[in-house]
């Protein structure tokens, strides 16, 4: 028992540490997790999850994948694909079918698999999936169009790859085995329809109960989690692998009901999903044996992987998107990016056993073939996505951007300085009159309420790494910081110091719901705008070997306010009352100073 507890602890720790390493060094998380799992499993033999967990291994992974897929489908709001419906529809139907046929032919003629095994594995390999696509998109920061296409394709095709594999297997049995009739194939189609109904029922039921107030706030997340598991298990009981379809339909149903609780629900599920992705990938890679790893280097498998990377994927994308409005650059990017992940590994493992039991001896290389493709695509696409996106002009600005909430004389002039420093900047305000300051200076702006649910579809948050609240209302600034913590992280959320004389009385507000205070304690909204009215100007000072930061501070007037440091690397550090920010040679310091100091 103690040994099992230790191994469970080790699996969870390796998964989370892998995510941290990936974040810290800007590496694809799946690659780090794969390496960690291989080191702990087949290489050093510390754990063997399949053996350690016994009968629990398969069900735990299946439920985890179902929850991951549900979390991904919660992001599939149809408003997001406005203008992209045709390309996404083509890629997820014609493109998936072409990828299946071409991949199956390659599996037969290149990898040497029998037709039966080839068509099953060809179906599995159309799957990309949210487990690998979403982490890559989170790191790469693509422009909205290619990012939306890759996300929607990954989440929609994910369950259909498993279902297509089931259909291929049932059809092959129908053609090759006497005991299988046409009724069996029809029952598969009927089971898929039942899965859709189950998913829609649970999704609509959850949404209706939440909107009517039948579930208290503290129970909403547990109710959703249990409902996802129920929908998955009920559907999977009708026919194996249809549970993935049910949870996908459930997530899409809830996402498009636009219920008020969708934000909190999505954040909770995202946290769980990240943990499950970490744990499941460690489980799968650590369960591989050395023979499986060595068999990957067979030349048949290597040529098959290269064919899938450089021919199958680009060809299926280019053919399926003919006469769509996708540009050549978008086709090139989407045609290259197709990393396989957890669903491909789990489903291929299941069918390897089923096909071997059915007498298809060549199915014993399915695990090797799948892991080889998963690892190759994750490494190739994970490390190349950002570089290729930049080369094709499909990535967001490389410098971290700043989203400013609240237009005023100070914020508009501050935004102008950031823009002159080639830092992506946007001012958001719900008042046309206040936005006149931004319009006068030609600063990018967005008219609308930042807290509205329409924000996700009006403003692309991808280019902006920092959000700063510069409105005159302390409580509103705090609300902004609290609302956008999941999107930006508390380290990248800032707000002005409190104006204690304005009546809000927020001095005792817990810092876990407020942003980090900007500049210095006296630099509230009134003081900053008063200084602009008095003619204070923004000054940019380059720190050199001849003019150090210490010398700059000595010459600084007491009435001046330090704002931020733009590092020579392009990163940004805001001055705050609690952080001791120091500028180095090559950095630029931005400050607000009296005119006679300029």
In CATH, 2-391 is 3.30.9.10? no
401-597 CATH: 3.40.50.720
Q: How far is Cα 299 from Cα 224, in angstroms, rounded to an integer? A: 47
pLDDT at residue 596 tops 50 = yes
Phi and psi angles of residue 465, each rounded to the nearest 5 degrees, phi first: -90, -25
Sequence ranges of the domains in the chain: 2-391, 401-597
Between 420 and 22, the higher pLDDT residue: 420
Q: How many residues does the chain have?
A: 598
- For the ranges 105-119, 162-176, 247-261, 264-278, the one whose mean pLDDT is highest: 105-119
CB 296 within 8 A of CB 90: no
Average pLDDT estimate for 51-66: 79
Among the listed ranges 65-79, 224-238, 388-402, which one has the minimum average pLDDT value?
65-79
Rounded CA separation 482/462 (Å): 19
SS3 at position 422? coil
The phi-psi region of residue 90 (left if phi > 0; otherwise alpha if psi is between -120 and 50; otherwise beta) is: alpha
The number of beta carbons lying within 10 Å of the beta carbon of residue 18 is 24
Q: Could you report the per-residue pLDDT of 463-487, keeping only the tens digit for each?
A: 788 888 888 888 888 888 877 776 6
Provide the mean pLDDT of the chain: 79
401-597 shares the fold of 2-391:
no
- pLDDT classification of 359: cutoffs 50, 70, 90: confident
Per-residue pLDDT of 63-73, as tens digits, reads 877 777 777 67
pLDDT digits (tens, 9 = 90+) for 391-413: 888 776 566 788 888 888 888 88
Residue 201: what pLDDT?
93
pLDDT at 510: 44
CB 567, CB 536: distance < 8 Å: no
Q: Is the pLDDT of residue 1 over 50?
A: no
pLDDT band at residue 85, thresholds of 50, 70 and 90?
Answer: low
Predicted local distance difference test score (pLDDT) of residue 174: 59
CA-CA distance, 155 to 216, in Å (whole number)? 30
Sign of the alpha-carbon torsion through 566, 572, 577, 578: negative
pLDDT in tens, 289-327: 777 777 778 888 889 999 999 999 999 999 988 888 888
* pLDDT surpassing 70 at residue 373: yes
At residue 23 the predicted structure's pLDDT band, cuts being 50, 70 and 90, is confident
Give residue 385's pLDDT.
84
């Amino acid at each position: 028992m103690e040994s099992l507890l230790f191994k469970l602890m080790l699996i969870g720790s390796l998964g989370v540490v892998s995510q941290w390493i990936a974040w810290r060094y800007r590496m694809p998380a799946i690659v780090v997790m794969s390496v960690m799992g291989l080191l702990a499993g087949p290489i050093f033999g510390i754990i063997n999850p399949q053996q350690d967990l016994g009968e629990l291994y398969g069900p735990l992974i299946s439920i985890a994948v179902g929850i991951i897929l549900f979390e991904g489908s919660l992001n599939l709001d149809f408003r997001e694909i406005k203008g992209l419906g045709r390309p996404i529809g083509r890629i997820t139907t014609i493109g998936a079918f072409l990828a299946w046929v071409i991949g199956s032919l390659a599996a037969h003629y290149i990898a040497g698999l029998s037709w039966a095994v080839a068509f099953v594995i060809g179906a599995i390999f159309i799957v990309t999936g949210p487990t690998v696509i979403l982490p890559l998109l989170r790191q790469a920061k693509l422009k909205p169009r290619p990012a939306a296409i890759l996300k929607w394709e990954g989440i929609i095709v994910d369950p259909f790859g498993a279902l297509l594999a089931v259909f291929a297997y049932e059809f092959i049995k129908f053609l090759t085995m006497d005991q299988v009739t046409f009724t069996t194939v029809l029952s598969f189609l009927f089971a898929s329809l039942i899965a859709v109904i189950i998913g829609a029922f649970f999704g609509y039921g959850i949404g209706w109960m939440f909107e009517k107030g039948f579930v208290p706030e503290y129970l909403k997340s547990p109710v959703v989690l249990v409902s996802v598991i129920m929908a998955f298990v009920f559907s999977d009981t009708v026919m194996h692998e249809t549970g993935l379809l049910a949870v996908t339909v459930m997530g899409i149903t809830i996402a498009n009901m636009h219920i008020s609780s969708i934000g909190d629900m999505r954040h909770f599920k995202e946290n769980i999903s990240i943990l499950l992705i970490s744990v499941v990938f460690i489980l799968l890679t650590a369960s591989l044996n050395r023979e499986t790893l060595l068999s990957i280097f067979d030349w048949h498998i290597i040529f098959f992987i290269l064919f899938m990377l450089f021919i199958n994927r680009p060809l299926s994308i280019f053919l399926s998107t003919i006469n769509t409005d996708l540009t050549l650059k978008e086709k090139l990017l989407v045609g290259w990016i197709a990393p396989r992940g957890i669903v491909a590994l789990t489903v291929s493992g299941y069918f390897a056993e089923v096909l071997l039991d059915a007498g298809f001896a060549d199915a014993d290389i399915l695990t090797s073939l799948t892991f080889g493709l998963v690892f190759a695509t994750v490494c190739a696409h994970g490390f190349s996505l950002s570089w290729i996106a930049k080369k094709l002009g499909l990535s967001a600005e490389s410098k971290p951007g700043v989203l400013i909430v609240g237009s005023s004389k100070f914020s508009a002039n501050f935004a102008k300085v950031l823009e002159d420093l080639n830092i992506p900047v946007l001012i958001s305000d719900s008042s046309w009159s206040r936005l006149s300051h931004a319009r006068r200076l030609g600063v990018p702006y967005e008219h609308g309420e930042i807290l509205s649910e329409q924000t996700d579809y009006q403003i692309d948050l991808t280019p902006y790494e920092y959000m700063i609240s510069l409105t005159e209302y302390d409580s509103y600034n705090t609300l902004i910081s609290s609302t956008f913590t999941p999107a930006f992280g508390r380290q990248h959320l800032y707000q002005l110091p409190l104006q204690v004389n304005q009546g809000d009385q927020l001095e005792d507000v817990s810092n876990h719901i407020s942003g980090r205070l900007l500049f210095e304690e006296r630099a509230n909204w009134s003081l900053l705008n008063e200084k602009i009215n008095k003619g204070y100007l923004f000054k940019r000072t380059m720190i050199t070997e001849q003019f150090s930061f210490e010398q700059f501070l000595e010459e600084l007037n007491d009435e001046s306010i330090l704002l931020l440091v733009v590092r020579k690397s392009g990163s940004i550090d805001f001055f705050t009352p609690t952080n001791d920010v120091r500028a180095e040679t090559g950095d630029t310091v931005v400050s607000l100073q009296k005119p006679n100091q300029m």
